[in-house]
Structure 1
């Protein structure tokens, strides 16, 4: 199986905390505030996804819960983005929803987003902080329509989107963390302990399916390790920026 994960690469980086806060406060689900694009030039020696991916069939829905880890931005920059989604490993689309753990300004920020790649990301300004519990769900409703939902059970909010993507095929389901930014493998923000739990595909634990375990690497350097999958749960550990 050829690994072809798509990178949500920042086309626009906000250079100050004030600028980012302004952009986020203006964000609405109807319009993208920043673009991400796939980096198809990524070498096979690199890998920008950390987590587990199902393959070998078509899938209707994935749901998963993860904690928001604390960030150490003291001597580190970059973004680490946990999300759940359909497609992307064996296809040219990704239907995904998640959170950017952002150290690009030197101050920890947590920014929620939804994306129907190759369309742009849409950021939405909901409150998220370290220690929160997030649950994401992506469902293929049929006819190339998808419902994507993100909930912060700690803060008590839920945001849902209904999106259309004519080329989507739902041939994968995944729970992932990846670095976001420029370059084939961008700088990975230094994050604390991260655990995915309750990851289910079509109502069954993701471990019931044929899965690929993916670890974030840049050539011979491991940026984050993916722990052992135990039915519907696994950890991801930061190693290097």
Structure 2
């Protein structure tokens, strides 16, 4: 996994329920997890923003799926939103993974209640392509229950599921992550409408995270704009 450097970032201007089909991508077959903020000899593994504290009940954000160019068949990354993971051993999260294991990028929607394995949605029932507008949310509904929801407004589908997990609810995140430690070239991915507990992400003073490997930045997290609800992730290096 990769390393981020926490920087001081200035705030600019301050359903259809359906069981997913059997996974078809290599990422799904391997059960690769988008897991809690993690350290190994390569460093930390997240980029984006993480709000910390207690009592987090919801997080939501939108993005336009970026065009990715594979550098190698090991490349894999995902934008996602989630609760927990920053200083916790659980993550309740959902997003879209871009997998280069076939030699070409394959976009696939997924959710994960870590430490359980990720669940990848059917490519035919829930397709995602470059340029699609995605909205993701995770909501705590009480009694250890979470609702995870993905909407592709470009293609007109919504997937929602409710799952149970005992978790701390001590952080909320809007993140990019590479479980393999190798990013495809995704250019620039823009997050928008990022909210936590119904308020702007920026109002929580979140930490800005830049993924890097052995001292080399892999992506840059831009300053928060639009009242603390939007920011850009820019690819720098695999």
TM-score class, shorter-chain normalisation, is 0.7 to 0.9
Tell me the C-alpha RMSD between the 2 structures. Answer: 2.5
Shift, 1:39, TM fit: 8.4
Report the equivalent of 1:95: 92
Shift, 1:140, TM fit: 0.6
Runs of 5+ consecutive residues of structure 1 not aligned to the other structure? 8-23
Scaled by the length of structure 2, the TM-score of the pair is 0.82
Instruction: Kindly indicate whether the alpha-carbon contact (under 8 Å) linking 1:76 and 1:190 is maintained by their aligned counterparts in 2.
Output: no
Shift, 1:227, TM fit: 0.5
Q: Secondary structure at the match of 1:36?
A: coil
User: 2-side partners of 1:138 and 1:40: how far apart?
Assistant: 18
Q: Secondary structure at the match of 1:215?
A: strand
194, 204, 211: which one aligns with 1:209? 204
User: 1-side partners of 2:38 and 2:62: how far apart?
Assistant: 31
User: 1-side partners of 2:133 and 2:45: how far apart?
Assistant: 24
Distance 1:237 1:40, change over 3 A: closer
User: 2-side partners of 1:236 and 1:82: how far apart?
Assistant: 10
50, 56, 60: which one aligns with 1:53? 50
Higher relative contact order (CA 8 A, sep 6+): 2
Q: Secondary structure at the match of 2:93?
A: strand
Shift, 1:36, TM fit: 3.0
1:86 and 2:83 matched: yes
Distance 1:188 1:128, change over 3 A: same
Instruction: Kindly indicate whether the alpha-carbon contact (under 8 Å) linking 1:34 and 1:122 is maintained by their aligned counterparts in 2.
Output: no
Deviations 1:50-99 (A, max 9, x none): 10000122210001001100011266740111000000002110000011
Taking the TM superposition and a 5 Å limit, the aligned residue runs for 1:1-241 are 26-27=22-23, 34-37=30-33, 38=35, 42-43=39-40, 46-73=43-70, 77-125=74-122, 126-166=126-166, 168-181=167-180, 186-230=181-225, 231-241=228-238
User: 2-side partners of 1:160 and 1:42: how far apart?
Assistant: 31
Runs of 5+ consecutive residues of structure 2 not aligned to the other structure? 4-19
Report the equivalent of 2:16: none
Instruction: Kindly indicate whether the alpha-carbon contact (under 8 Å) linking 1:65 and 1:134 is maintained by their aligned counterparts in 2.
Output: yes
Report the equivalent of 1:18: none
Deviations 1:102-134 (A, max 9, x none): 222211210111100000000111110000010
Shift, 1:201, TM fit: 0.6
